[in-house]
Amino acid sequence: MHDVICSPLSVPAESGTHSATLSASEKSRRTITRGGTAERRILIVEDDIALADFLSAELESQQFAVELLHDGEEALRALGENQPYDLLILDLNLPRLDGISLIRKMRPEHPRLPLLVLTARSQVEDKVTAFQSGADDCLTKPFSLAELLARIQALLRRNSGLVPNCSQIGDLTLLRDERRVERNGRRIELTPREFAILEVMMRNAGHPVSRATLLREVWNMPAEPSTNIVDVYMKYVRDKVDRPGERRLTHTIRGFGYELRDADA
C-alpha cells in the first residue's frame, strides 16, 4: 500500500512525519466548528432559488455547513479558490455555465471531491453523461429529502473511508485536500493538470498506468492514439518530480504508459 494515513486531521503535529512541515492553519482548515461540533461543508449550486434555500435550510438543520451559489461560473470561481468543501451538490441546468461543463472543468483540480448531481431530466443519457463527466451520484427531481440525506451520508462515508488524503511513495508525498506535493521536504509546484496526473499515478503507484487511462481520468477524453498530450504533460511532471541527483520515481513503460515506482523500495 502506498496510501498512508497522514491527514492533517488525523495525525498530531508531533508525529514526526512529513506532515509536521505543514502550518497549523493548514492542518485545521478542513474542520469548521460550531458549538464544538465538527461540521461537514457542502457547496450547493442550484439556480432555483426556492429549492436552493429549502435544501440549504434543511441541511443546516442537519448540522452541515452550507454554502449556496446559483450559477455555474460562480461555482467554478468558488471551487478555484480552493475552499475546503466536503461535498458538492450540483444542479445540471445552470445559467452561465451548465452543470456538465462545470464538472468537466473542476474535476481535474478536485478529483476527490464527492459530487452529487441533481437533475430534473429523467433521460438515461443525461445521467450517463453526468457520471462519465465525473459525478459520483445522481438524483432525479422530484426527490425526497430523506433520500438526499441518505445519499449525502453515503458519499461522505465512502470518501472518508476509501481514498485517504495522503499518498506517499519513497520520499514523494501528495496531499489531496491541500493540493500539495513535497519531495524530501522540497515543495513541488504543479499546475492543476499536472497535479491531476500525479494524483492518478499515486493512486496506482507500483502499477503501470496506460496513456488511455490518463486521458480518460485527467482530460475526460476517450483513447486517442494520435495525441501526445499525455507524454507532453508527463514530461512536465517528471521534470518537477525527478530532479537531477534524486532517485528516479517516474518510469516510462514503452508502448503503454507510465509507472510511479520507488526502485529502492
Partner 1 sequence: MNCEMPMRSAASVAAAEAAHPERARFYADLVNGLHAMAQPLTILRSAMEMLTLPNGGMIDQRRYLEMSSRQVARTCGMFASLQDLVETQLIEAQRVRFDLWDLLMPLIENQRRMLGDTRIEIIAARPESRVAVWGDAGRTEQALAAVLKLAGAVSISGDVIELRAVKADGYMELTCENARRHGKPMDSSERLSLAVAEANILSQNGRYDAVEDPFRVSLALPVENLDRVIGEVRLSPMRSQPMN
**Nearest distance, CB of residue 248 and partner 1, angstroms:** 38
Measured from the CB atom, the residue of 47 and 109 that comes closer to partner 1 is 47
**Nearest distance, CB of residue 143 and partner 1, angstroms:** 6
d(CA 156, CA 42): 10
**Nearest distance, CB of residue 71 and partner 1, angstroms:** 6
Length of the chain: 265
Instruction: Give 47's contacts (C-beta < 8 A, 6+ positions apart).
Output: 70, 71, 91, 93, 94, 95
Helix runs in the chain, H state only? 24-28, 49-61, 72-80, 99-106, 124-133, 145-162, 192-203, 211-219, 229-241
Measured from the CB atom, the residue of 12 and 95 that comes closer to partner 1 is 95
**Nearest distance, CB of residue 110 and partner 1, angstroms:** 24
12: preceding bond cis by omega (within 30 degrees): no
**Nearest distance, CB of residue 140 and partner 1, angstroms:** 8
**Which chain residues interact with partner 1 by CB under 8 A?**
47-51, 54, 58, 70-71, 93, 95-96, 120-121, 124-125, 128-129, 140-146, 148
The secondary structure of residue 166, as a DSSP letter, is: E
Measured from the CB atom, the residue of 129 and 167 that comes closer to partner 1 is 129
Measured from the CB atom, the residue of 3 and 126 that comes closer to partner 1 is 126
Measured from the CB atom, the residue of 38 and 145 that comes closer to partner 1 is 145
Measured from the CB atom, the residue of 101 and 140 that comes closer to partner 1 is 140
Strands 250-253 and 257-260: antiparallel
d(CA 69, CA 134): 20
**Nearest distance, CB of residue 123 and partner 1, angstroms:** 9
222: preceding bond cis by omega (within 30 degrees): no
